[in-house]
A = this chain, B = another copy of it.
Amino acid sequence: VATVSLESLNAADEAGVIAALGDIYEHAPWVAQAVCGQRPFATLAALHDAMMAAVRAAPADRRLALIKGHPDLAGKAARVGSVTADSRAEQTSAGLDRLSDAEFTQFHRLNNAYREKFGMPFIICVRRHGRDSILRQFESRLHNSVAAETETALAEIFRIAALRLDQRLEAPDRLRVHGRLSTHVLDTHGGTPAAGVAIELFELPASGEPRPIASAATNRDGRTDEPLIAGQPLPIARYELRFHVAAYFARLRTPQGDPPFLDVVPVRFAVGEPEGHYHVPLLVTPWSYATYRGS
């Protein structure tokens, strides 16, 4: 995605603003247009607030049209391409482009039930969810009232817009739309950071095989050079970290039993706050370990 600076946006003419921000809200360049006169914006947050206020201030039918302008999730539209590039990339991130026929059918059934009850597409900020979580949201939100669901749809649209803005604009501030998942390994046998421990991260779907997300090895500080996930929301899902500790202790020639009492240590946990910081470390000897949600 080409980025643009908030500064240049503040200096652009209306056509330039719409060119830059017209698709922040799906098929609704009027939102960008509505905030043109409020420039300059000192921060990204101010711009985001102004655009949300413009949506809130619009007539109800225009707001409803905005909602209805969104594509069905994993629907026919997404398959044939009449959606914005952003929408397509977002749906891809949750694996919605890789549905099995059975899953596609299930999504299709939910889509139809949702449209029948609410007369609008199901809107969710997919970057904040794993596939199972989207499905749970879908099932759960079907029980909402129309009024509550319209509010929820707007809230999700604002989340989508915030992510698009944060990705698109260079600005002195960032929106708080990203989470972070990190780890470190401490060798409490030797009293040092554990260097060179191979770590794998998997997403655990409710059914089917674990899906590899990231892998890394710890550095001299027992940390990974980069967080395992950063620069994006953490999809709401279950995860498994795998720490290859027997190989680490074997390199140090530390007695650890034959076969080693511990080998690959699995740590399973769920993420429920996509914008949260999850630090899930391992304190380990060949005979014990501890883990926790740290900070």
Contact = CB atoms under 8 A, between A and B. Distances in A.
A294 B186 contact: yes
Contact of A238 (B188, B221, B263, B293): B263
Contact of A292 (B269, B283, B294): B283
Contacts of A5: none
A111 interface: no
A270 B261 contact: yes
Interface string A249-270: 0000000011111111110111
Contacts of A119: none
A285 B285 CA distance: 9
A255 to B, nearest CB: 8
A84 interface: no
A270 B246 CA distance: 11
Interface stretch (A52-60, A63-71, A156-164, A190-198): A190-198
Contacts of A266: 266, 268
Given A259-B238, A261-B191, A266-B268, A291 B292 contact: no
B259 A186 contact: no
Contacts of A293: 188, 191, 261, 287-288
A188 B287 contact: yes
A291 B289 contact: yes
B259 A295 contact: no
A236 B259 CA distance: 8
Given A258-B272, A269-B261, A295 B193 contact: yes
20 contacts: A186-B292, A188-B287, A188-B288, A190-B287, A191-B261, A191-B287, A191-B288, A191-B292, A193-B295, A221-B295, A236-B259, A238-B259, A238-B263, A259-B272, A261-B270, A264-B268, A265-B268, A266-B266, A289-B290, A290-B291
Identify the 3 closest CB pairs spanning chains A and B, nearest first: A191-B287, A288-B292, A290-B290
